[in-house]
Structure 1
Amino acid sequence: MSMFGAVDLSTLAPHAKSMNPASGAAGSASRGASAPASGSAGSGLPVPLVVDVDASSLRDVAEVSTRVPVIVVLHSPRSQASADLAADLENLAGQYGGRFQVARVDVDAAPEVAQALQAQAVPTVMALVAGQPVPMFQGSVPQEQLRSIIDQLLEVAAANGVSGTIAVDAAAGADSRAEEPEETEVERAAREAIEVGDFAAAEEVYTHAIAQNPSDDDLKVARSQVRLMARLDGQDPHELIAAADAAPTDLEAALAGADAALALGEVNASLGRALEAVRTHQGEERESARLRLLELFEIIGSTSPEVAQARRRLASLLY
């Protein structure tokens, strides 16, 4: 597990024990991905398996971590990779019988929490054990590797006297997350196409739906997100950014760099790169850059202050 900067949260959990200096995030070799312990219904700590965290609830999560390890996943609606990772962790929380809690931090809605945890990108995953941070990893990992990392975390937690469980039953599972709207036929068809890597088919699903419902902005946003996923499929965002910096006059490289920055959760950098592409190109190339920028606006959200500022800059560039 990589170290990405630790923050002392012990003041948020007054009764937290000190972390055993002999136990690190890397820990000893895992005992293997043994079958998760199953919790009995009605036993354990009466808290949700999954919680959404902001500055006002961070103290509560730190307090829970004195009894049960808490895995904190910092995500953004703009990053499909972070959304997928959060979903994987939520599923594993139930499979592990409540041996840890998942705390979700939307970095857009709670930037102060992301700053306090020194998160540099999304997704970022860390744990709280006895009120202390245990760095885990950044980026996405396969689910089997995720199990191994969790097994190591549980060893670290147990070595520091944190080995409780959360009460797992139907009610707790229902209360652990907000009710989600039922999936529409359009969403189902697009999801199935995305799951097999057919982004063109997913885009066509949304294009057809938009033709039937031209005023539905949610469909347009979803289509823009699919286009972004397709452009980034199989690409390393850091390599795309490096390529853009190495060839500042290359329009495709510049726009790929803007996509990559957004995938890493760097909104201002993404918009800045796209705006610079508009500024430094003319004719059809400028129009291509403008259209890509409008797609980024849709993905980020029209009410975002970053988008509002970028719109003003775009207007000054064009007019």
Structure 2
Amino acid sequence: MIDVTIENFEAEVIHASMQTPVLVDFWAPWCGPCRTLGPILEKLETAYGGRFKLVKIDSDQEQQIASMFGVRSIPTCVLMVEGRPVDGFMGALPEGQVREFLDKHLPAGETIPEEEDLQEPEPETDLQTRLEQLQKAVQEKPDDEQARFDYVKLLLEMGLEDEAKVAFAPVIALAETSQRYGALKTWMDALDLVHHLGDANARLKELDAAIASNRRDFAARLERARILLAHNQWTAAMDELLEILMRDKGWEDGLARKAYVAILELIEPPRPPVAEGQIPPEDPTVASYRRRLSSVVLS
């Protein structure tokens, strides 16, 4: 597995795929489904014995490459053969489905079969276990804000939007006063917007044209940010919101700032436990975007 940037993209992806198929995994550190899929891909690279090469691209850090491939949500995987993309898939597929995808395109060869009795649970099993644990925690303590936030967030990460809405319904009235619940509502509202649009890509082109003709079309920028949010393009959405804030910090009673803060809440990963008196390390992406917000708001 190789981490690819714009500097080594040509060599590690384009040129390398002339000899061996290259599977490009677009991911981000904050993405829960990415953390599920990643170990599966790494395991399969070994199991397939050199029949394909795995590379990983951080879509936050390498937005130029992600844009080249039209990545709208992550995880997204693209298979490159002889310098061009031949197929791909989105989402954290289970190992069996990833194998089916690879077998359609890779040359025949020896492959280590999928293990039936693993000593450690598969990542997708871990995800399901985590979901069940959170569901139980919410049932036992309905007022536990952190547990409900984590539960609804995981449901949304897994694409289970209807289940997320059911779990969120008992506390939706608190979205105005709770930062966590407000962040979840912002995400779900963005998802509803995209569902109603039908063709989100066509709408993005319309919004791009509107913004190109009027850089202060804040309504278009906000809608564009919401569409990006719905497709898990968190940092791109925040970049768009910053464009509003740099021009008018108070627009619509700080609507852009509120959406920006909501995204920061959503992408904040769980912090590891530390010794008493120590400050846990902050995720570098979250820290960077917090600084950008502060520099704009306080300027």
1:75·1:104 contact (CA, 8 Å) conserved in 2? no
Q: Check if 1:135 corresponds to 2:102.
A: no
1:237·1:260 contact (CA, 8 Å) conserved in 2? yes
Q: Check if 1:245 corresponds to 2:208.
A: yes
2:186·2:259 contact (CA, 8 Å) conserved in 1? no
In structure 2, the residue matched to 1:259 is 226
1:262·1:270 contact (CA, 8 Å) conserved in 2? yes
> Deviation digits for residues 204-255 of structure 1, max 9, x if unmatched?
345468799x6xx766654443343333335444334323333334433211
Q: Tell me the distance in 2 between the aligned counterparts of 1:200 and 1:167.
A: 35
Q: 1:252 to 1:272 in 2, by over 3 A?
A: same
Q: Check if 1:297 corresponds to 2:273.
A: no
Letter in 2 for 1:258: A
1:267·1:306 contact (CA, 8 Å) conserved in 2? no
In structure 1, the residue matched to 2:193 is 231
- Per-residue deviation at 1:162? 2.7
2:52·2:106 contact (CA, 8 Å) conserved in 1? no
2:24·2:57 contact (CA, 8 Å) conserved in 1? no
Structure having the larger proportion of residues in helix = 2
In structure 1, the residue matched to 2:279 is none
Q: Tell me the distance in 1 between the aligned counterparts of 2:208 and 2:152.
A: 38
Q: 1:204 aligns with which of 169, 178, 185?
A: 169
2:221·2:241 contact (CA, 8 Å) conserved in 1? yes
Q: Check if 1:7 corresponds to 2:17.
A: no
Letter in 2 for 1:226: M
Q: Tell me the distance in 1 between the aligned counterparts of 2:103 and 2:154.
A: 37
Structure whose CA Rg is larger: 1
Letter in 1 for 2:103: L
In structure 2, the residue matched to 1:75 is 27
Let me know the Cα RMSD of the aligned residues: 5.4
In structure 1, the residue matched to 2:103 is 154
Tell which deviates more after alignment, 268-277 or 196-205: 196-205
Q: 1:152 to 1:191 in 2, by over 3 A?
A: closer
For these two proteins, the number of residue pairs brought into alignment is 237
- Per-residue deviation at 1:307? 1.2
Q: Tell me the distance in 2 between the aligned counterparts of 1:198 and 1:177.
A: 18
The answer for unaligned runs of 5 or more in structure 2 is: 1-8, 139-147, 269-281
In structure 2, the residue matched to 1:273 is 240
Q: Tell me the distance in 2 between the aligned counterparts of 1:290 and 1:140.
A: 30
In structure 1, the residue matched to 2:58 is 107
1:78·1:263 contact (CA, 8 Å) conserved in 2? no
Q: Check if 1:168 corresponds to 2:133.
A: no
In structure 2, the residue matched to 1:56 is none
- Per-residue deviation at 1:286? 4.6
SS of the residue aligned with 2:256? helix
Q: 1:157 to 1:75 in 2, by over 3 A?
A: same
Q: 1:78 to 1:225 in 2, by over 3 A?
A: farther
Q: 1:205 to 1:268 in 2, by over 3 A?
A: same
1:268·1:306 contact (CA, 8 Å) conserved in 2? no
1:278·1:286 contact (CA, 8 Å) conserved in 2? no
Letter in 1 for 2:289: V
The answer for unaligned runs of 5 or more in structure 1 is: 11-16, 20-24, 26-69
In structure 1, the residue matched to 2:78 is 126
Identity in percent: 13
> Deviation digits for residues 106-160 of structure 1, max 9, x if unmatched?
7269x58x969x866343313489xx8883446649x9xx96x9757424423xx
1:79·1:263 contact (CA, 8 Å) conserved in 2? no
SS of the residue aligned with 1:174? coil
TM-score, normalised to structure 2's length?
0.53
Q: Tell me the distance in 2 between the aligned counterparts of 1:264 and 1:201.
A: 21
Q: Answer 1 or 2: higher relative contact order, Cα 8 Å, separation at least 6.
A: 1
- Per-residue deviation at 1:173? 6.0
Q: Tell me the distance in 1 between the aligned counterparts of 2:289 and 2:102.
A: 39
